Copies of this chain bind each other. A is one copy, B any other.
Amino acid sequence: MSTTATWTVTGMTCGHCVNAVTEEVSQVPGVTDVEVDLATGGLTVSSEGPVDDGAVRAAVEEAGYEVSGR
């Protein structure tokens, strides 16, 4: 069953940033789709079953940005 969860990311300023976050979060186990809204910082992650919150946050940080909320 597909699950969708959202986080808010701060620090993204351009399309390159969106790509960096999308690429890192796409590598989290179980993730099937990642949508990032540059204007709002919204990060929407679709996955097969619940995705690991810590893994998503770690991926965002790996990309060079911060999760400010969920």
Contacts and interface: CB of A to CB of B under 8 A. Distances in A.
Interface stretch (A1-9, A11-19, A52-60): A11-19
* Oligomer: number of copies: 2
Interface range on chain A (Cβ under 8 Å from partner): under 10
A17 B14 CA distance: 8
Contacts of A16: 14, 16-17, 20
Interface in A15-70: 15-17, 20, 64
A20 B15 CA distance: 12
Interface of A: 13-17, 20, 64
6 contacts: A13-B13, A13-B14, A14-B14, A14-B16, A16-B16, A16-B17
